[in-house]
Amino acid sequence: MITRFKFSTLLIAFMGLALGLVLLGLCAGSSGFDGLGILLSSHLDHDLMLNIRLPRTMAALSGGALLGLAGAVAQGLFRNPLADPYLLGSASGATLGVSLALIAMGAVGLHAGWWLRLGLSGSALLGAWMGVILSVFLARGFLTSYRLLLCGVVVGVIMGALCSALGILHPQMLQSLQSFMMGSTLFADDQSSWLMFYALILATLWSLRYSKALDALSLGELTAKSLGVDLARTRAHFIGILSLCTGVAVSQLGLIAFVGLAAPHVVRNLGQVLYRDLIVLSSLCGAVLLLASDIVARSIIGPQELPLGLVTALLGGLYLLWLMNTQPLGVSQD
């Protein structure tokens, strides 16, 4: 069990890592990695740093925190360490929303003016929430986690098939859609960063308010019910948190793989932890993971950039393979 002292130590460590990565993020750009000495240089282009690099850095930090928090909630809600934030159809819904928006906009998408990009973000957010709502509707409410999970998978498959069909009918949109599906902070600005930051504050307070229910749920549904937990109401709250976190993050950054899945495992690998602490530490860990990946994506082959989702998938996949070989992941059974 992680003691209060160890929790405080980990909290400070993650915050220190995040601060260090913010400084590194200010040095990473299309020219590659400039080195920390550029921050003290009189030749520094402050407009470039404040209007491009800083918003991208803060967007990666906030988006990673949202996905890390959502991953901890999803794994607690479904009592499954392999659960990720996109299980209820938010990712496929967002992709379908962007596909429809690209068709409506003439497939000019991510290379168009700011008002078209705003339209894509709004379509992704609406699509993500519609995917979750459809999953809940098909599951007939919040009665069982198993039914919710199954309906989320079905909704994801159906919406994915619809996106593929739209791609066949409108192949001109595929390049722009691929940019969204691979994820990037390239178009993040101050508004994106603040939107994700406000969503993070709301989701953190909301999840901490009901974190004890996740601790009870980890003992089994019958035990949680005997402890006075209203299971349907609890699921409704946490599905609301999941839809908020994933919808906002995906709408601003695109689809980011593995951060929400890997972050809670990194924290659990440090010791057994209550959910109130897991939520906070997973959020910080997700922020560190995504920001580190973004720095790698921006600087490793400058002036070109790797897709952010590609970097997180490679790093997260390798980490989980290593984790499964050293500490096999158990799957909870009802």
The per-residue DSSP string of 105-131 comes to TTS-GGGS-HHHHHHHHHHHHHHHHHH
Q: Residue 10 and residue 2: Cα distance in Å, rounded?
A: 10
The two three-digit tokens of residue 212, written as one number: 């004890």
Residues contacting residue 63 through CB under 8 Å, at least 6 positions apart: 185, 196, 249, 252, 253, 256, 290
Structure tokens at 132: 């979750």
Domain ranges of the chain: 4-326
User: With the CA atoms of 318, 321, 325 and 331 taken in that order, what torsion angle do they form, in degrees rounded to the nearest 10?
Assistant: 150
Distance CA 326, CA 299 (A): 31
State the CATH class of domain 4-326.
mainly alpha
Q: Which residue has 């499964």 as its token pair?
A: 324
Global pTM value: 0.87
Which position has the token pair 């596909």?
A: 99
Query: Which pLDDT tens digits describe the chain residue by residue (334 residues)?
Result: 778 888 899 999 999 999 999 988 887 766 655 655 555 555 556 666 777 888 999 999 999 999 999 999 999 988 888 888 898 888 899 999 888 888 877 644 445 554 455 577 888 888 899 999 999 999 888 877 888 888 999 999 999 999 989 888 888 888 878 888 888 888 888 888 999 999 999 999 999 999 999 989 888 888 888 888 888 888 899 999 999 999 999 988 988 988 998 899 889 888 888 999 999 999 999 999 999 999 888 888 767 788 888 899 888 778 778 777 776 554 444 4
Q: Return the H-helix or E-strand segment holding 206.
A: helix 190-209
Q: Which of 254, 282, 241, 283 is nearest to 129 (CA)?
A: 241
Return d(Cα 132, Cα 243) in angstroms, integer: 7
